[in-house]
Amino acid sequence: MKRNIIIAGGLAGFLALAATRLPAADDSAIILSGTAGTTLAQEQQSLKNARRQSDEARDRSARLEQQASAARDEAEQARRRAAAIAARIQQAEADIQAAQARIAIINRLQRAQAARLAAKQEPVVRLTAALQMMARRPLTLALVQPGSVADAVHMRAVLGQVLPVIEQRTAGLRQELDKSRALRATAQQAADALTKAQADRKERQTALAALEAQKRVAARDYRSNAGMESERALALGERARDIVDLMDRLEEAGDLRDRLAALSGPLLRPARPDQAGAPGPERDASAGGPPPYRLPVIGQLVTGMGEVNDGGVRSRGLTLVTQPGAQAIAPTAGRIAFAGPYRDYGQILIIDHGQGWTTLITGLHRVTAQVGDTVRQGEPVGITGAERPDITVELRRNGRPVDIVPLVGLG
C-alpha cells in the first residue's frame, strides 16, 4: 500500500509540473491590433493588392531609371529620375500597406489560437489541480489511511487509465504552444518589415525633396510666364461657383488654347519656354481615346464612382485612403491647369490631358507642381495629408465624368 501511494504522489507531482509549464499565453507574446470591422478575406485581399502595387511600382521605377540613364539632356534626366524616386516612394508605401495587412491577419490568427489554447487547457488544469491536492498530503497520513490492498490496487488502476488521457491532452497543448511561438515569430518578422519600409520611404522622400529643390533652382529664370498663367487660373477659381464650374471654365480655356495653336501663322508661345522642345503626352492625341491611366496614389479604395457619400452627394470619381504623407503622381501625361487651395477641397490639382480629357485630384496637403508645367505619367505632383490621408480623383471627358476603374484594371 505504501508503494502504491508513493506512485500516486509522484504521478500527481509530475502532472502538476506539466500544468505549470502550460500557461494560457506568454507575457512576451506580441499581440497586435487588427483592422476593426474587416474580415479575414478582406485582409488577405488587401495584402494581395498591396504586394501587386509594390511589384508594379518597383518595375516602373526600374524602367524610369533606365530612361534617365539613357537621356542625354540634363533636364530630361532630372525629370525621369524624379519620377523614378516617386515610384520607389510608392513602392515603400505599398510595402507598408502590405506589412499592416499581414500584421492584421496574424493578429486574427493569434486571437483564434489563444481561444483554442484556453479551451484545451481548462480541463487539464482542473484535473491536475485535484492531483496536486493528493500530492500535497503528508506521506504519514497516507500510510495510516484506512483501506485494503484492493483499494490501493484500484487507485493505481485508475491512475494508470488517467495518465494516457493527460499525456494526450498535454500533447495537444504543447502543439498549440508551438503554434503560438511560430505566430509570435511571424508577427515579429512583419513588424520588422514595416519598420524597414517606413525607413526606406523616409530616405526616398528626402532624396526626392533634394532633387525637386535642384529643379526649382534650375528653372527659376523661366517662371515669369508661368506666374501670369497661375494668376489667371486663380482668377477663374474665384469666379467659379463650385469645383465643377471651375473645371468647365478651365476646359473652355484649354479648348481656346488648342484652337489658337491650330491656327496657321506664328505658333502660340509656350507656357514654359524652357520646355518648348519637350515631348508631349505619351499617346496619340489624334485618336481621342482614353489616355493610359494610373491611380495617382497607393491606397485602398473606399468610395467608387456613383456611390453616395456621407454628405448625400453622389461621387463622380474614386476616393482612396493612403498612408499619411503619401506621394501623389501624375496619373497620365498632361499640362497643369490649376494647382493650389480651393474652398473646402484642400489643395487641388487639375491636369489637362488634351482632347477634352482632364483629371481632378482633391484633398492633397501639398502640391509640388505649378500651373503651366508639363508633366508625364508618374512624375511627382503632390503629397497627401497626415491627419486626413484620403484623396478623390476624377477623370472627365468633355465635361462628363468617366469611370476610372476599367482604365486601371481594378474591375
Give the pLDDT of residue 267.
56
For residue range 151-208, list pLDDT tens digits in order: 555 666 666 666 676 666 666 667 777 888 888 888 888 899 999 999 999 999 899 9
Is residue 283, in this structure, part of any structural domain at all? no
Q: Which of the residue ranges 161-175, 244-258, 298-312, 382-396 has the most confident prediction, judged by mean pLDDT?
A: 382-396
* Same domain for 203 and 173: yes
Q: What is the CATH number of the domain that holds 335?
A: 2.70.70.10
Question: Which pLDDT score is estimated for 248?
Answer: 75
Number of domains in the chain: 2
Give residue 130's pLDDT band: very low, low, confident or very high (50, 70, 90).
low
Q: Has residue 280 been placed in a domain?
A: no
348-372 confidence digits (pLDDT tens)? 999 999 888 999 999 999 999 888 8
Give me the domain span that covers residue 297.
Answer: 223-270+292-408
**Residues 132, 166 contacting (CB under 8 angstroms):** no
Note whether 241 and 180 are same-domain residues. Answer: no
**What is the pLDDT confidence band of residue 16, given thresholds at 50, 70 and 90?**
very low
Statement to judge: residues 213 and 142 lie in one domain: yes
Residue 260 sits in the same domain as residue 212: no
Indicate whether 164 belongs to any domain: yes
Residue 383 and residue 365 in contact, taking contact as beta carbons nearer than 8 Å: yes
Examine residue 285 and state whether it is found in any structural domain, yes or no.
no
Angstrom distance (rounded) from CA 257 to CA 229: 12
More confident residue, 14 or 396: 396
> What is the predicted pLDDT for the residue at 71?
83
Structure confidence by residue, pLDDT tens digits, 304-321: 887 876 666 778 889 999
More confident residue, 56 or 22: 56
Residue of higher predicted confidence among 121 and 184: 184
Q: Please give the grid coordinates belonging to residue 341.
A: 487651395
Entry pTM: 0.69
Neighbours of 41 (CB within 10 A): 8
Residue 277 confidence class, pLDDT cut points 50, 70, 90: very low
Residues 368 and 391 in one domain: yes
Average pLDDT value over all residues in the chain: 75
Distance (Å, rounded) from C-alpha 240 to C-alpha 220?
Answer: 30
Check pLDDT > 60 for residue 1.
no
Cell of 186: 511571424
Query: Do 58 and 187 lie in a common domain?
Result: yes
Alpha carbons 233 and 349: distance in angstroms, whole number: 11
| Average pLDDT estimate for 328-343 | 90
Instruction: Output the CA torsion sign for 277, 282, 284, 287.
Output: negative
Tell me the DSSP string of 299-360. EEEEE-TT-B-TTSPBPSSEEEEE-TT-EEE-SSSEEEEEEEE-GGG-EEEEEEEETTEEEE
For residues 261 and 174, state if they share a domain: no
**What pLDDT does residue 270 have?**
58
pLDDT of amino acid 14? 43
339 and 395 within one domain = yes
